[in-house]
Chains A and B, each alone.
Chain A
Amino acid sequence: MKLSRIFSLCLAASLLTGAPAAAADAGKDITVIVMALNSDYWHMVEAGAKLAGQDLGYNVNVIGPNAETDAIGQANMVEDAAANKVAAIVLAPNDPVALIPAVGNAKAAGVPVVVIDMALTTQDESLYESFIGTDNYEAGGMAAGYLIKKLPSGCEVAIIRGIVGSSNHDGRCNGASDAFKAAGVKVVSIQPADSERGKAVTVAENVLQTNPGIKAIYCTNDEMALGAYQAVANIQKQKDILVMGFDGSFGALDSIEAGELTASLAQMPIDMGYSGVKAAVDFLAGKKLEKRIKSATVIVDKANLAKFKADIKEKLSKAN
């Protein structure tokens, strides 16, 4: 009995930390569920979403599972938000298929869903109100175009990509590799490193070992680009090999500033979070939404870095 009391005290203490958020007016609640709250990228989405909440007069909560692999955990979050009778859900699904039934359940419960970042692989477009995301194939092509301009024609490049089967990484990878081929640049290796920095170091080392002649490494996210740069620096070839990332994360920006990474194809996660919430609010206000909204991208290199950073800083300071 005594122990159960200790037990309940601990529980109560931990639950109370979240309790104030629950006191708000339910009709003005929007829940944003991201792939996982474990990287700068998703924290910027969070900031953008909160900013939109402030601007538009909604109470925005941002949650997400511990790992991007936890699809069931995310599905549970979607269903729980629906049960919590929020006004709308903004979802960045971490699996293009596994989240579909959960989105269907939310829809059945009368809660509208706006999908951001990763598209759901479904023919049934009525499940969600709108999809806002980067056109990854197009963006991949853009990134390749940037590198092509800096490289001699006919040279060799390598691509390090995220997990096979993720539609985002498929698009980023295929868009770039098609653009390289069209420009006569040889893609000698495409290797997955599962979006992890550590794995990317190993993968890049192996790639450099087998293809010592490559002139550039393009990675489908910034974490992997930072890892690949590490491998390049380890063999003192940072002057000869360009390393480009994708996302525009803080780590990558710092690295560009330090003259390490060449560039990153920056998504605008703050804008994406903002427009996700804005779309949901527009829908609640009865406005008609486009099914597919492309979010903006920009290539950040040393030239435009300062402006880009200042812009982010301003938006982040507004959000907090």
Chain B
Amino acid sequence: MNSKNASAAARDIFAKAGPVVALIIMCVILSVANKNFLTSANLLNVSRQMTINGFLSLGMMVCILTAGIDLSVGFTMTLSSVVMAICAVKLGWNPYLSLFIGVVTGMFLGLVNGLLLTKCKLPHPFISTMATQNIYKGIALVATGATPIASIPPAIKWAGANFVSSDPSTFLGKVPVCFVMMIVAYLAFSIFLNYTILGRHIYAVGGNMSAARLSGVNVDYVRTMVYVISGFTAAIGGIILTGRTNAAYPLSGMLMENDAIAAVIIGGTSFFGGKGNTLGTFSGVVLITVLRNGLNLLNVTSDLQTIVIGAVILIAVFIDVVRSGGFAKVKRLAKEFAKEIE
């Protein structure tokens, strides 16, 4: 009985730390395969490259925790960055005001998604956010005349383009601002999800919506708020993107939702809601970024990269199935399979 408990505990730890373990293994392989992987220049690249998806994935995770999904994250990001750039560049408004408007835009677009779901009673967020994805994309194209808006003021670019310290010889001079923002955001979301009422309600709604409703949880409010949160994180992603490319361009959000969903799922969040945490999503985000970076360093073409990422998603979801023991048969098969491997 005792050893059974111990192995169950070990399985539990693996379940929680699974993505982290996979990440470490991958880093080891990469640093052996390419000597430039573990250089500060490359780690700097990785830390910067993960931030946009990092923010989109945070919002996506919150939606998926309620058994929802936000397919519009990519173009919510695009549209809020476009609105921000129009205010700052074309209208010449104060850059800080423009930043604020960009964030509010993102939250508004998220609110639209949420209200479509809860007030218009659209059957599934897959439908409503797929529709708004197209609408937001179209608006972004129309608003920009399909041309990128360049010459972004430094105050807006700061988040995406600058380092914490302006002195490149110091350590802080090598740390991108956006990476620090992302770490802070993940810590904040971890606290938000675990130690606030709304945070716990998000898990309850995803875990069992009717039980939550009958427990007096305002389910509609929770389900609306998660899309507002997703819009908020997408807008932050948009600010970083604008800084990184010195431009707001209308197709920047193309397929961005794919990597966000992938990161969340790889991070162990259940697609059926109620289970998942920020550490997992963080590992998922890092894993995808490191994977792409490593494959770039090894000059693997993007076609192959796509296959690898697809495979990683499959493996991650398979682990999720086994872990949740959704149906005993899969579990049994996996056990037999694992035995054969050993």
Contact = CB atoms under 8 A, between A and B. Distances in A.
A152 to B, nearest CB: 35
A8 B315 CA distance: 10
A75 B148 contact: no
Please indicate which of the listed interface residues B247, B302, B315 has the most CB atoms of chain A within 10 Å of its own CB. B302
Contact of A79 (B45, B145, B255): B45
A61 B251 CA distance: 27
Contacts of A63: 296, 299-302
A16 to B, nearest CB: 8
Interface string A99-118: 11110000001000000000
A310 interface: no
B311 interface: yes
Given A3-B322, A4-B22, A12-B29, A22 B249 contact: no
A54 interface: no
Interface string B137-156: 00000001111101000000
A122 B309 CA distance: 35
A7 B22 CA distance: 7
Interface string B6-19: 00001000100010
Contact of B295 (A15, A72, A102): A15
Interface hub of A17, A64, A71, A80 (most chain B Cβ within 10 A)? A80
B296 A6 contact: no
A19 B295 CA distance: 9
B70 to A, nearest CB: 19
A14 B307 contact: yes
Interface string A43-85: 0000000000000000001011111011111011101111111
B254 A69 contact: yes
A5 B316 CA distance: 13
Interface string B294-310: 11111111111011100
Contacts of B296: 63, 76-77, 80-81, 84
B270 interface: no
B42 interface: yes
Contacts of B25: 4, 7-8, 11
B41 interface: yes
B300 A17 contact: yes
A95 B245 contact: yes
A7 B148 CA distance: 40
Nearest to B287: A11
A14 B249 CA distance: 33
A280 B164 CA distance: 34
- The B contact surface, by secondary structure, is helix
Given A79-B45, A80-B296, A64 B301 contact: yes
Contact of B33 (A3, A22, A99, A102): A22
B118 interface: no
A233 interface: no
A83 B36 contact: yes
A306 interface: no
A64 B301 CA distance: 7
Given A2-B341, A82-B41, A19 B249 contact: no
Contacts of B34: 22, 84
A64 B148 CA distance: 21
A6 B297 contact: no
A76 B292 contact: yes
Given A63-B299, A65-B302, A72-B252, A5 B341 contact: yes
Interface in B27-54: 29-30, 33-34, 36, 39, 41-42, 44-45, 48-49, 52
Interface string A1-31: 1111111101110111111011000100001
A18 B45 contact: no
Contacts of B244: 72, 75, 101
A151 interface: no
B22 A64 contact: no
B49 A76 contact: yes
19 contacts: A1-B14, A2-B338, A7-B319, A8-B22, A8-B25, A15-B300, A21-B299, A36-B302, A37-B302, A61-B299, A65-B302, A71-B249, A72-B52, A79-B45, A80-B42, A83-B39, A83-B45, A84-B34, A164-B146
Given A3-B322, A36-B302, A64-B301, 12 more contacts: A4-B21, A8-B26, A8-B29, A14-B304, A15-B30, A15-B300, A18-B295, A18-B304, A37-B303, A95-B148, A98-B252, A165-B147
